[in-house]
Amino acid sequence: MEPVFDVSAFRQALGQFPTGVCVVTSVIGMDKIGVTISSFNSLSFDPPLILFSIDNRAASLPLWTKAEGYTINVLSENQTDLSSRFSRPLTNKWEGIACQLKAGCGLVLPGAAALFHCTRWAVHEGGDHLLFIGKVNSFLSFRDRRPLVFSRGRYAALESEVNDEASWPLAIHY
Ligand SMILES: Cc1cc2nc3c(=O)[nH]c(=O)nc-3n(C[C@H](O)[C@H](O)[C@H](O)COP(=O)(O)O)c2cc1C
C-alpha cells in the first residue's frame, strides 16, 4: 500500500523556505489582472528568464493563458495591504489604485521594491498549477526600499542584513 502523502505537512515544510511577495499583472483587452504570488523566481540569465505559477482554480487563470506580457511588482515591506488586496478574487481589485501601463507587459503599482517587465516565453502544465515563463525586457530596482518577506504562512521584514556589504556576486552567482 502507498503511504499517504501528507499535504499539510508538505505545505508546512515548504513554509520553511522564505520568499518575497510579488503582484504579477497583465492587461488583456480591457481587463486588468493582478495576482499576489510567492512563486516568482529567477530561471535563466542568458536569456534573462523568470517564472511564476498560477493555481488552476484561480478565477483569473483563463485570462492569464491569453496574456502576452507580464509585469512583476516585487512588494516592499510596507505593502502588505496590496498583497492582501491582490490575494482575493475581487472584481474591484484595482479600485483607487494609480497604476501605470508598461506597453506590451503589465501594470506598475506604486512603491514596489523592484519591477520586471516581461513577454511570454512559455507556459507549461505543472500539476495543479500552470507554470509561466517570461523573458525580461527591462527591470528596475529601488534599492532604498526593502522587500516584503513571506515565510511559514506569515509576512515578515528583513530585520537586518547579515553583512552590511552584499557579498555579490558570489562565485556561483547566487
Ligand atoms: C503571500 C501569498 C502568496 C501567494 N502565491 C500564489 C502563487 O504563487 N500562485 C497562485 O496561484 N496563488 C498564490 N496566492 C493566492 C492568490 O493570490 C489568490 O488565489 C488570488 O485570489 C488569485 O487571484 P484571482 O482570484 O483574481 O485569480 C498567494 C497568496 C498570498 C497571500
Give the position of cell 479600485: 95
163 assigned to some structural domain: no
Instruction: Calculate how far, in angstroms, residue 2's C-alpha sits from the geometric centre of ligand 1.
Output: 31
Total domains, the chain: 1
| Nearest alpha carbon, ligand 1 atom 15 | 87
For residue 73, the domain's CATH number is: 2.30.110.10
Residue range 103-127, pLDDT digits in tens: 999 999 999 999 999 999 999 999 9
Q: Select from 132, 152, 120 the least CA-distant residue to 56.
A: 132
Sign of the torsion angle spanned by Cα atoms 169, 145, 107, 151: positive
Q: What is the pLDDT of residue 131?
A: 98
Mean pLDDT in residue range 147-161: 90
Mean pLDDT in residue range 87-111: 94
Q: Which alpha helices (DSSP H) does 56-122 contain, by range?
A: 61-64, 80-85
Domain span holding position 76: 19-42+51-152
Instruction: Calculate how far, in angstroms, residue 165's C-alpha sits from the geometric centre of ligand 1.
Output: 33
Give the position of cell 504570488: 37
| Nearest alpha carbon, ligand 1 atom 4 | 37
35 assigned to some structural domain: yes
Confidence of residue 165 (pLDDT cuts 50, 70, 90): low
Instruction: Calculate how far, in angstroms, residue 170's C-alpha sits from the geometric centre of ligand 1.
Output: 32
